[in-house]
Amino acid sequence: MSETLNHEISRRRTFAIISHPDAGKTTLTEKLLLFGGAIHVAGAVKSNKIKKTATSDWMEIEKQRGISVATSVMGFDYGNYKINILDTPGHQDFAEDTFRTLTAVDSVIIVVDVAKGVETQTRRLMEVCRMRKTPVIIFVNKLDREGRDPFDILDELEQELHIGVRPLSWPINIGAKFKGVYNIYEHGLDLFTPDKQRVSERVEIDDVNSPEVDRLVGESDAAKLREDLELIEGVYPEFDKQTYLDASIAPVFFGSALNTFGVKELLDCFVEIAPEPRPVDAVERTVYPQEEAFSGFVFKIHANMDPNHRSCIAFVKICSGKFERNVNYLHVRQGKQMRFAAPTAFMAQKKSIVDEAFPGDIVGIPDNGNFKIGDTLTSGEKLHYKGLPSFSPEMFKYIENADPMKAKQLDKGISQLMDEGVAQLFTNSFNGRKIIGTVGQLQFEVIQYRLLHEYGAQCRWEPISLYKACWIESDDEKALAAFKARKRQYMAIDKDGRDVFMADSNYVLQMAQSDFPDIRFHFTSEF
């Protein structure tokens, strides 16, 4: 048993693709699937000529707007490896979804746009990677457009992301004159022929000084390439796999994901150097993937994957042991045994039933309201995995029913969408009205759209001026009761029934903190 387990673990690679909006994550994911043979013709995110949309943007709203609004999970085989990709939304309104995704992966690919360089959102995501010591590979995209000098980009990456870099491929010109990429890692030359749906040819070269290079790219470009390579060898340290795994250095690749260029080099190098599934910290102890006993946690819940069935699916990341179909497992929070007759593996929306899964895999389990984000499943041991917080929201609105005949559908829709963790629901204790709290404006639109199209319920938003929602607790019952009585109109309850204080300005919050010293105020739900 353990030999098969070790073999399966060693061939798993689970990673997330993160970046700023519009840098090209979804397009890159699409091309990686193309190489893995999972799809035969790549779709485009938004294009008039290519009718096929991207595989990972499968929700209706994603196709319309050309942005990703939820993390999609895709698994495929490439050579001897089993690869699990999580394509995350870049838009900062969905940052929470992306932060949670980072808890379920072993390494990360960051996509950077060559013209825009490093942007705000990329910095925030990099901070999370740095906290967790996650290894990072950087892919500089859109070389077929005019952009900045590659050396400037490398300097900016070092300064902004606070990590050492080492280029493993190098572009020959840029923009309209773009000729191709020299692969430093494997010593090959890839010539660029623009094609959005198929793969370009590559030429094997033993030595960069051979006259063959001059013939292929022209003398002046060949001379510049040799100069640049000398400079790289002089300035940047030799590539060492261990420093990459320690997350102190990031390999850099150049290419154009839209034209399927430079992607294969990235993938070939990635499967060689990327880490296999790593140990995960639980509250009780550290769990190693090689252990015989099964354990895993829910990091995401997606409502309505199939609009015909209204089903919810919980995504479980497997941390140790082997997961099997129809075997009883312990749901730690509820303390009861459960068995799953139809666990699924994903290819974005298409899914297939799996009989077994190993550490590093992501399995979908049908959810009838039993799961919450952060729940643990084990073979019997009581473990609690940590690190999946809900943040305090920044924008609030009252949600009102616009169609009295559909009150039931609205309630069902709200409760399922809130379980996803897209937004948070608070019920005002004073007048019983429902308040939705989110991180950004776009989420209100997504909720409204999904309620109408997936549940047939119409809602309207009403303004409310609130500054922050804080979870409160106290060791002194009397003080808690006195606080609730005094702040009655500002009190609410979240969907788990915990007390939340809704402060309408910073001043009110500070006053409450100084007037009631026995009460603790929390800004994340993990305390």
| Model confidence pLDDT, tens digit, residues 228-260 | 888 888 888 888 888 888 888 889 988 887 777
Q: At what angle do helices 407-419 and 441-455 cross, to 10 degrees?
A: 130
pLDDT class of 36 with cuts at 50, 70, 90 = low
Closest listed residue to residue 461, CA positions, set 423, 420, 492, 489: 423
CA distance between the termini of the chain: 39
Of the given ranges (199-208, 229-238, 263-272), which has the lowest mean pLDDT? 199-208
Q: Is residue 441 pLDDT above 70, yes or no?
A: yes
Q: Specify the pLDDT at position 27.
A: 77
> What pLDDT, in 10s, does the model give residues 281-326?
888 888 888 888 888 888 887 765 565 656 677 888 888 888 888 8
Instruction: Give the C-alpha separation, 495 to 491, whole Å.
Output: 14
In the chain, the amino acid numbered 71 is T
Q: Domain extents for the chain?
A: 2-273, 280-378, 395-522
Burial status of residue 51 (CB atoms within 10 A of its CB: 0-12, 13-18, 19 or more): exposed
Architecture of the CATH domain 395-522: 2-Layer Sandwich (3.30)
Q: Is residue 50 pLDDT above 80, yes or no?
A: no
Q: Which fold has domain 280-378?
A: Rossmann fold (3.40.50)
Architecture of the CATH domain 2-273: 3-Layer(aba) Sandwich (3.40)
Query: 130 near 162, Cβ under 8 Å?
Result: yes
Q: At what angle do helices 95-102 and 120-132 cross, to 10 degrees?
A: 30
Rounded to an integer, the average pLDDT of 80-92 is 74
| Neighbouring C-beta atoms of residue 22, cutoff 10 Å | 17
Average pLDDT value over all residues in the chain: 79
pLDDT class of 38 with cuts at 50, 70, 90 = low
Query: 19 near 25, Cβ under 8 Å?
Result: yes
∠ CA 190-75-417 to the nearest 5 degrees? 125
Q: Do domains 2-273 and 280-378 have the same CATH topology?
A: yes
DSSP 390: P
**249-254/164-167 β-pairing:** parallel
